[in-house]
Structure 1
Amino acid sequence: MIGDQALSQGSGGTFSHVNTATGQFQMDIPLAGEIEVDAAVKAARAAFPAWRDMKPGRRRQILDRFADLVEQNMGRFMKMAVVENGIPMSTMLHGMGPRITSWTRYYAGWADKIEGLVTGTPPGDHFEYTVPEPCGVIGHIITWNAPMLSLAMKIPPSLAAGNTVVIKPAEFTPFSSQLFVELALEAGVPPGVVNVLPGGVPAGAALVCHPGVDKISFTGGPDGARAIMRSAADTLKPLVFELGGKSANVVFADVDIASTAAYCAAFGLSNSGQGCALPTRLVIHQDIYEPFIEALQATMEQLPYGDPLNENVIVGPMVNASARQRVQDMIDAARASKVGRFLTGGVVEGGQGNFIAPTLIAEADPYCPIAQKEVFGPVLCAFRFRSEDEAVALANATEYGLAAYVQTNDLNISQRMVRRLQAGTVFVNQATPAFHAASPFGGMGISGFGREGGKAGLEEFIRIKGVGVSIRPD
């Protein structure tokens, strides 16, 4: 959609969308190419001055109405999520759905609260202050594993700050972005302020390279980010990256084994492990390792998986056949290399959908590929530790640094671990990434840079202008 006009065809060709749970064809999606990207950026640039100069109170009213519409249409969004990429309905009902609404409403409230500062009032003949300004046109390349959450984390703060946007969802998750933009228009966001162009890598590359785009926000993987950085170098375009993780979950000996094992299984394997901040590396104290693994395996083998429309299902399908094959290849290579004990799973399930059984590798080599690379599939690797120092070393033994987890009833241990773990966020005692709109979220290392959430997430889409004023004496 460019402005308020939906595209029936695109220069990028078409994509045949398939229901990942059933293998059934759904529809052909027109894909954007360089022509459509150029038109969308021009529409965003044309709409920028009026949106930037709109009174902040009026902009807030529009975004509040937008949040109302998002909340009212959450049922439609949740069903779209299931048919787009197989996110289980249980995940939408109990996690992502409410967060999408809260993020949209939180940033609507920021629209009339963006303030500058007086930075210097020296005695004499001048004073200095700052003016916060929108960056301009923001190109958003959103993730396929949770496209609606990605939209809510990126678009409302961009709009609240006075920017206009061009959104590039993945070709196989186009539906929710289209509805998101339609609701923005219905709320009163002027045409051209929000544009959406489903497309593949060429569309993303065109957006990054376009001289009319002032900043890029990207959620994806390190390889894609490296390509974007190389392209953005020509225009020195600033970037925000959230690039996934390989998060450790450190389990100390004082936990309740049954409840903690249940949490580790259900959360670590939610959405088939297709989550950037999921704790897929379990670092378990030697004293409870065997009973914990036993409880973990039993829980994993009982996790409901299958039809994502079933509200009891925890583990749904992989996003598509190529993702399923990629994960299966990693599992097969790990098994052939004898990197650990395969206790359950590791096989492709029958039928037409893209399912892989939840997989547990105990006594895993912490430095083998499947323990170091982001699998983005239903695979957990478990290691032993004996001392706190060893736990920290194992947890930090990865290039990623998005999130980390600690399970212990000892407050002193938990706070020491929070300081020592190399991650953008640390979650303690069965806490999960709530993605609360007021909390900053982002990583370090190859998990990226920049933050989404809270005031920090708003400031990613603001640039500060300094002003000095000379005061002439009478």
Structure 2
Amino acid sequence: MTEVRDYSNLIGGELRPAAGGGTLDSIDPSTGRVWARVPRSTAEDAEAAVAAARAAFPKWSNLPAAARAHYLRKVAGVFAKHAQELAELETRDNGRTINETAKRDLPGMTYLWNNAAAECASAVEGRSVDFGATSLGVTRREPYGVTLGIIPWNSPISTLSAKAAFALAAGNTVIIKPAEQATVSSLRVAELLKDVLPPGALNVVSGLGEEVGDPLVRHRGVNKISLTGSVDTARIITRASADSLKPLALELGGKSPNIVFADADLDKAAVGVTTQAIFTANAGQICYGGSRVLIQRPVYDEMLHRMKEIAAGIKLGDPSSPETTMGPIVSRAQYERVTSYLEIGAKEGAELVFGGRFGAEVVADPTLTEGYWVEPTLFATTDNSLRICQEEIFGPVAVVLPFDTEEEAVTLANDSVYGLAAGVWTRDLGTAQRMFRNLETGTVWVNTFRKVMFPLEGVKDSGYGHDSVLAYTREKAGLFEF
């Protein structure tokens, strides 16, 4: 029997269990079995984390930019040294395949922390305005103070890094609250960084949202909040933080359109709308996943054929195996949500083009039959008002819709409460430029998909604000007269 390891919070440079001694089981989504335990923190732990971050802030914020950059480069070195271990933990934690975590995620984190180090100087830059011989106007950028990063379960290490690295570079101290569904990799990062950063500069506290997340959000000692998560969570946080009027950055859900024009390179487009966008290594559990595929009618049948062929070649199985191309759904609750939409799509009258199976029947390995498996699924419809077209499913489920004209494509694409990202596949530069201008999204990829850019910022119900060094500073103005 595999040993179940206990992990700890990082508060004030110390590894600590939850103050009340509570723990939560971490479930391996590929097997459905407990493999680790994490702290079930409470308001007492939230208070301790805020106190530690506030105590560390004066010294950290007053460090020269070059000194903060030195610390961040040391962090980048830790990520490089422990990349394989962290990739394996992330895979076990949330089911994202090892090919994705080891070859994409962790190398990217080394780059991100080094990039944040390089941007430390921009956090202290200011402007000057000459008002005459005896008057000078100046501005300076200042850190907010203590920032809270609330991170999701689909890519914990990536979002922890984005929220911590840029905030630290700007001179803030940081508290990270991981999602309870996938906490282990974040706590292991905290262990590795315990003696790399000054005590209290980075704190990581695990637990349930209502038990430790809410006290952190409401705490007046927290000066800014950055959430990557769901719209429902964002609404809760917005209400909870209203009394202290904290600035928020909210990177939320999406129902991203992926639009294929008749002149597109269909080989590239077929991959771009399937394994690159929605039938991903983490089973489509991605905020900007291309879950609505819009195809121009002259190539509709051909594209559908190509998409089915690609979907049929996807291999579900042990996410730690390099042979596996799609992992499980992260938790039983999310699994039940995703599978419910398979029934909803059928009831709404959408055509099931491919897939639709789930559970033990889609994995061959008998040790994985209790895992949370959903095979890649394609629906087709002409009605964009269906729930499967409008609601975020957050799983390997895509809906294909035909269109005739560019104007119709824009109308269909924008007919959503979300506006996080979109993909466009065309050889025509004019079409690409018009789509870039007219699509109501924060990011538009042309002839590619899911290559992360910063800032990654949505519109409409996909949120507002982003993670960058300057976004973790505020501008102060001064006027000097002599």
TM-score (norm 1): 0.95
Contact in 1 for aligned 2:410/2:435 (Cα 8 Å): yes
Report the more deviating stretch, 146-155 or 255-264. Answer: 255-264
* 1:342 paired residue among 336, 352, 368: 352
Contact in 2 for aligned 1:404/1:423 (Cα 8 Å): yes
Contact in 1 for aligned 2:123/2:142 (Cα 8 Å): no
Report the more deviating stretch, 232-241 or 307-316. Answer: 307-316
Give 1:380's aligned residue. Answer: 398
Q: What RMSD in Å do the two structures reach over aligned CA positions? A: 1.4
In 2: Cα distance, 1:213 partner to 1:237 partner: 8
In 1: Cα distance, 2:86 partner to 2:472 partner: 26
Q: Is 1:194 equivalent to 2:202 in the alignment?
A: yes
Report the more deviating stretch, 198-207 or 92-101. Answer: 92-101
Q: Is 1:450 equivalent to 2:465 in the alignment?
A: yes
Contact in 1 for aligned 2:128/2:137 (Cα 8 Å): yes
Question: Could you give the per-residue CA deviations for residues 416-446 of structure 1, whole angstroms, max 9, x where no partner exists?
Answer: 11111111010000x233225xx32111111
Contact in 2 for aligned 1:341/1:364 (Cα 8 Å): no
- Return the offset for 1:10: 4.0
SS of the residue corresponding to residue 121 of structure 1 reads strand
Report the more deviating stretch, 119-128 or 133-142. Answer: 119-128
Unaligned runs of 5+ in 2: 1-9, 361-368
In 1: Cα distance, 2:57 partner to 2:226 partner: 18
**Structure-2 change in CA distance of 1:125 and 1:259 (3 Å):** closer
**Structure-2 change in CA distance of 1:47 and 1:137 (3 Å):** same
- Return the offset for 1:139: 0.9
In 2: Cα distance, 1:2 partner to 1:58 partner: 22
In 2: Cα distance, 1:388 partner to 1:260 partner: 17
In 2: Cα distance, 1:409 partner to 1:191 partner: 53
- Return the offset for 1:12: 8.0
* 2:329 paired residue among 315, 318, 328: 318
Question: Within 5 A, what are the aligned runs for 1:86-235?
Answer: 86-187=95-196, 189-202=197-210, 203-235=212-244
Question: Could you give the per-residue CA deviations for residues 173-200 of structure 1, whole angstroms, max 9, x where no partner exists?
Answer: 222212222333332x111111111111
Question: Could you give the per-residue CA deviations for residues 38-97 of structure 1, whole angstroms, max 9, x where no partner exists?
Answer: 011001001110101112211111111111111111111100111111111121133222
Counting aligned pairs with the same residue, the percent is: 35
SS of the residue corresponding to residue 464 of structure 1 reads strand
Contact in 2 for aligned 1:364/1:371 (Cα 8 Å): no
In 1: Cα distance, 2:295 partner to 2:315 partner: 25
SS of the residue corresponding to residue 253 of structure 2 reads coil
- Return the offset for 1:205: 0.8
Give 1:274's aligned residue. Answer: 285
Give 2:451's aligned residue. Answer: 434
SS of the residue corresponding to residue 451 of structure 1 reads coil
In 1: Cα distance, 2:291 partner to 2:107 partner: 25
In 2: Cα distance, 1:5 partner to 1:459 partner: 29
- Give the aligned residue type for 2:202: V
In 2: Cα distance, 1:27 partner to 1:348 partner: 26
Report the more deviating stretch, 226-235 or 361-370. Answer: 361-370
Give 2:381's aligned residue. Answer: 363
Contact in 2 for aligned 1:99/1:435 (Cα 8 Å): no
Contact in 1 for aligned 2:26/2:183 (Cα 8 Å): no
* 2:317 paired residue among 294, 306, 309: 306
In 1: Cα distance, 2:188 partner to 2:68 partner: 20
Report the more deviating stretch, 11-20 or 130-139. Answer: 11-20
In 2: Cα distance, 1:179 partner to 1:353 partner: 24
- Give the aligned residue type for 1:435: V
In 2: Cα distance, 1:220 partner to 1:299 partner: 29
Contact in 1 for aligned 2:417/2:461 (Cα 8 Å): yes
Question: Within 5 A, what are the aligned runs for 1:389-468?
Answer: 389-429=407-447, 431-436=448-453, 439-452=454-467, 457-468=468-479
SS of the residue corresponding to residue 275 of structure 2 reads helix
- Give the aligned residue type for 1:201: G
Question: Could you give the per-residue CA deviations for residues 279-314 of structure 1, whole angstroms, max 9, x where no partner exists?
Answer: 110000010111111111121111122211111322
- Give the aligned residue type for 2:113: T
Q: Is 1:42 equivalent to 2:59 in the alignment?
A: no
- Give the aligned residue type for 1:417: M
In 2: Cα distance, 1:178 partner to 1:33 partner: 16
In 2: Cα distance, 1:12 partner to 1:435 partner: 39
Contact in 2 for aligned 1:11/1:34 (Cα 8 Å): no
In 2: Cα distance, 1:418 partner to 1:113 partner: 29
Contact in 1 for aligned 2:251/2:464 (Cα 8 Å): yes
- Return the offset for 1:364: 4.9
In 2: Cα distance, 1:37 partner to 1:143 partner: 18
**Structure-2 change in CA distance of 1:415 and 1:279 (3 Å):** same
**Structure-2 change in CA distance of 1:38 and 1:274 (3 Å):** same
Question: Could you give the per-residue CA deviations for residues 394-430 of structure 1, whole angstroms, max 9, x where no partner exists?
Answer: 111101111010001111111111111111010000x
**Structure-2 change in CA distance of 1:458 and 1:113 (3 Å):** closer
Q: Is 1:470 equivalent to 2:481 in the alignment?
A: yes
Give 1:248's aligned residue. Answer: 257
SS of the residue corresponding to residue 367 of structure 1 reads coil
Contact in 2 for aligned 1:158/1:458 (Cα 8 Å): yes
Number of paired residues? 462
In 1: Cα distance, 2:419 partner to 2:247 partner: 21
Contact in 2 for aligned 1:67/1:108 (Cα 8 Å): no
Give 2:266's aligned residue. Answer: 257
- Return the offset for 1:31: 1.2
Question: Could you give the per-residue CA deviations for residues 118-140 of structure 1, whole angstroms, max 9, x where no partner exists?
Answer: 34202232111011111000011
* 2:11 paired residue among 2, 6, 10: 2
In 2: Cα distance, 1:177 partner to 1:67 partner: 15
- Return the offset for 1:466: 0.7
- Return the offset for 1:369: 0.9
